[in-house]
Structure 1
């Protein structure tokens, strides 16, 4: 048995909880979305912990360049100001895209879940009353994913691992925020 078949056997269990096909579909899709959210949040925490030293160095460099830029501005040294400002903008871009990459780490499980759902639920549609329209697994997954993200956002601070990571991220955000005066 290959890895994909094993994953399929485990994930399909989420869709066999109560025995009613429609309820099982929506409950299973919500649980799959919740699993994707949890795995994504765990991935973010791992990527952050691995890259923390690099992010620290970038933020220290950015803060130093901001101070040098302001000093050059106060001294009226346009050439130094332009050079420092260019370096600060470049460093800010690196910080920004590192944080975008960190945020994107949360999404890969959702795409994996959708790929699995495509194998299982292609062709199944749910009609929207009075519209003549229908939605498929992608739409229902996205709705369940949003609800799962909202739910997890409310409970994650009660879970020991995520509470500690959240505390660490908040301290990091507070300590690395630029000091603009």
Structure 2
């Protein structure tokens, strides 16, 4: 039955890593190449992330410079950024695309902090679902005694609490980063 806790640990780690990936996509007013991680464009018939076909550099702290390895994909990358939910306006100069990351307004900061909280809540829901699966697996096991079941339930709750604290810490750190002027 220790296997149940190992499987739960693995699934909960996946939920936390998914949360961290989602939090990376939130703008904080500082240029960061991970802002474009979820932006894909059609490259020879298949959706491709921009970071696989171009170098992305942070210039002067508030600007991203995207230099595609294949110049023919410049227009497609520009179009993908324009239509994405990143909220940045690409400037194409024929060789590179520049993205100016503006400072965030107080209203936009609060909105992004809410998004961070929403991502955190989704991660907690995923963790709670894993906990529920583990509890059900323990209840169905006929070989365990009542005392063993109670002990396993306590262990599952400890693991769940640990991951919920991790989620809370990640979300509050991101909210602090967003709200910092």
Give me the TM-score of the superposition, normalised by structure 1. Answer: 0.35
The structure that is strand-richer by fraction is 2
The structure that is helix-richer by fraction is 1
Larger radius of gyration: 1
Give me the TM-score of the superposition, normalised by structure 2. Answer: 0.35
